[in-house]
Chain A
Amino acid sequence: MGKAVLVLRLAVRDLRRRPGHAALLLVAIAAATTTLSLGLVLRGAAEQPYQSTRAVTAGPDVVLSLAPQPGSTVDPSSLSEHLTAPGVTASSGPFPYTQRVVSIGGLSVHTWLQGRDSDVAKVDRPVLLTGEWTRPGGVVVEAGLAKAIGAEVGDAVDIGGRPFTVTGTAVTAAAEPYPKAAFAPFFSGAARPPLPTGGIDRGPVHGAPPADGFQLVPTGLMWLTEADTRTVAEPSMLAYVLSLKLAHPDGAPAFAAARSTVTERTVLAAETWQDVEASDGWALSKKQFSLMLGSSLLVLVAVASITVLVGGRMADQVHRAGLLKAVGATPALVAVVLLAEHLAIALLASGLGLAAARLLDPVLSDPGAGLLGGAGQASFTPGIVAVVVGVALSIAALATFVPAARAARISTTQALARTVRPPRRSSWLITLSARMPVPLLLGLRIAARRPRRTWLGVFAVATAITGIVASLAARASRLAESAPGLDPRLAMTQGLLVISVMLAVQATVNMICVAWATILDTRRSAALSRALGATPGQVSGGLSVAQLLPALGGALIGVACGLGLAQVLDDDPLAVPPYWQLAAVVLGTALIVVICTAIPARLGATRSAGELLHAA
């Protein structure tokens, strides 16, 4: 009991003695836990909205669409053989469809136009959100498309030069959300027919379609009457769609795979409910993935920061451990005190991280307009809380292990003598720096004194910039192929934005940690340089250079790794972010470094050099 009180008292005293250190540690761990919590919470948040939409709209298990090859036409009756296929329990259609450019409110969007005289059917009953079902001269706009292009009931629509009016907006579970809606002749689902070459291609089959044919571009979905559909459709682009319910929904992929075919005259595409669900969850799953990846990067940077922080305090901690040992404390007690401090900070940080994640979560888990109902507040299960707290505590324990082990290992006398690790020597850098202007001379030598810390700085900056650049690249590739209107896929960049901000915060914290440790470490040699005639400006310039060079190196490595990461992760071709963004990232890094180091270095440099030298 008495021992616990002692540990507590020592831990609290030490934390209060160094509030800045405790705060940095807190921010470093909290940034990592926030992102980690978000990533964990978003996992598994996507399924429910799709499932409820599917239930309400009697969503089909398989959608078969039949389109003519160029120069041919199709006969809808050829689809009827599938109605009697084994396992099919209900159907609706065939309904005619086509693809045309639709102009609405100044925007031109390639749109699938489906002929449905009624929203009533056994399978696939679109549910109206606003207005009423279509009538001659009217269109119902799929909700996701409506939101992206801002379509409302009563808006005028131009389809191939004919005027139409929006009569309503509706939700369906039978097609992928805007801008990914796709029917034959395109295969957007998992089921692909074997090609003559044996390969698999996402694109149009059998060569490029004629310029006035079906286009594989971002497309939305609208419903017209069947008559209007036939009227607006080019004869060579009139196709038919059939929605099927199966006895065993899980068998949909196999059913679809068996039916996707390409002949010289027609293309039959089959899309399953699983395909639609995956597409609905795409933005969210990208967010989840980027958050998980981001939180891993953040944990890495946090560990780097804490290593630097603890390393900077090493001399002091070891001395303190020595003091405690000298008055009779065992090494174990010393380690326990250190551990208690860091664990307390880690606990607080995981609490902060969970709270921050709870605030950010509703913003990130918006499922998209094309589904019924929100995702609901994603739940913080005990498992998630346990993982977050566990990771935070592991970080703290890791940070404590080194000084605790050191303190336990070295003798009390050594510890009391404050034997700090001697600085390293790098001959070629010293020789090289002799030819540089004074701030570079001092900076290079400071950087060379503690190579491990310098590399940690490079690593932390590189990690952070990797994440940020990968986010920018992903965003750039989204923008490069973005659909007209507000492409809902851009929502994924919210997750990337969170990651980028967190990484920037974390990298800044890391920078402060490195600068702090370096300034502590070089206080005496900085004072000496001033006694030998260096100006305060040169000394603080040297400190900045010592941080700036590794940070710039790290930033460049980070840019390269970030582009590489984006390339690996994104299935689309890499889109390099605009050069001004990359330049801004690198220059921003430099600016942050200069601010983080120049201020404390300047404060330190104006202190009396005499005192420092005499105290040493």
Chain B
Amino acid sequence: MSEVLRARDLRMTYGRDTGTVHALEGVDLDVERGETVAIMGPSGCGKSTLLQLLGGLQRSTRGQVWVDGRQIDALNERALSRMRQRAIGFVFQAFHLLEELTAVENVELPALLAGRSPSAARHRAAELLDQVGLAEHAGRLPVSLSGGERQRVAIARALSNDPLVVLADEPTGNLDSVATSEVLRLLDGLRAAGQTQVIVTHDARVAATADRLISMRDGVFVEETRLDRGPSGPLSELAGLEG
């Protein structure tokens, strides 16, 4: 199986009795190695839930998830944690950086949690910060970084353990236009470098960094588009220039 991620008939129901919410109503997904998939839909369509199920942060009501060919539904919490350490890097809308840690300390945290040596973790973190263009901000606290910089730190953190797949939940959701561009550039660079990524978003711009775009509505996939990178039509038509 060459899929890094595979989901079959995923269902998720919140609440019980009268107040049930069906967040997911049967979703199938295969993500190939090296592929970047964007899942788009309005808020409340279940895309964040899907991402959490794929990363083992929640357990589905029904259905199966495989990560790197291994089914994770039956794993206990401890094994799920180990799986996340090895295979998954998370990026969140709200960044979720620890405020009391500097950029580099945030980035090295997953490596430390995975039991790497402090010097190796620090070395890797410095490399990653350099890769996201924040080498000179390594010693700064998140509070002194802009939104785009914080999200770039968070992305570097997601890469700390060289994950098989990066799962990003609305990575540009809290960012202004300029910061969004910064982050999109970074994600696009990761895609070009062959990093497998699943990005859920309702920001259409994020789709530009994807190989495949899946539209989601009311807990189901409604449409799937392969976004080939062949030569595009002349953009000048858009400008409406006339002599």
Contact = CB atoms under 8 A, between A and B. Distances in A.
B70 to A, nearest CB: 16
A100 B82 CA distance: 78
B47 to A, nearest CB: 11
Interface in A505-545: 524-525, 528-538
Given A434-B112, A538-B113, A610-B58, A616 B96 contact: yes
Interface string A73-85: 0000000000000
Interface in B82-103: 82, 84-86, 90, 92, 94, 96, 98-101
Interface string A604-616: 0110111101101
Q: Which one of B55, B58, B77 has the greatest number of beta carbons of chain A within 10 Å?
A: B77
B84 A531 contact: yes
A605 B81 CA distance: 12
Given A422-B99, A533-B161, A535-B78, A608 B57 contact: yes
Interface string A428-454: 001000110010010001001100000
Interface string B96-119: 101111000100111011110010
Contacts of A532: 84-85, 90, 109-110, 113, 157
A537 B141 CA distance: 28
Given A438-B113, A525-B98, A535 B77 contact: yes
A613 B92 contact: yes
A425 B98 CA distance: 10
Nearest to B84: A533
Contacts of B109: 529, 532
A445 B141 CA distance: 15
Nearest to A525: B98
B81 A536 contact: yes
A16 interface: no
Please tell me the size bucket of the interface on B. Answer: 35 or more
Nearest to B52: A610
B95 to A, nearest CB: 10
Contact of B100 (A424, A537, A608): A424
A435 B58 CA distance: 31
B92 to A, nearest CB: 6
Interface string B103-139: 0010011101111001001100000000000000000
A423 B100 contact: yes
Given A434-B112, A531-B57, A532-B113, A537 B78 contact: yes
B48 interface: yes
A422 B78 CA distance: 30
B192 interface: no
Nearest to A429: B100
B96 A530 contact: no
B85 A613 contact: no
5 contacts: A434-B105, A445-B101, A528-B98, A532-B85, A614-B52
Interface of A: 422-426, 430, 434-435, 438, 441, 445, 448-449, 524-525, 528-538, 605-606, 608-611, 613-614, 616
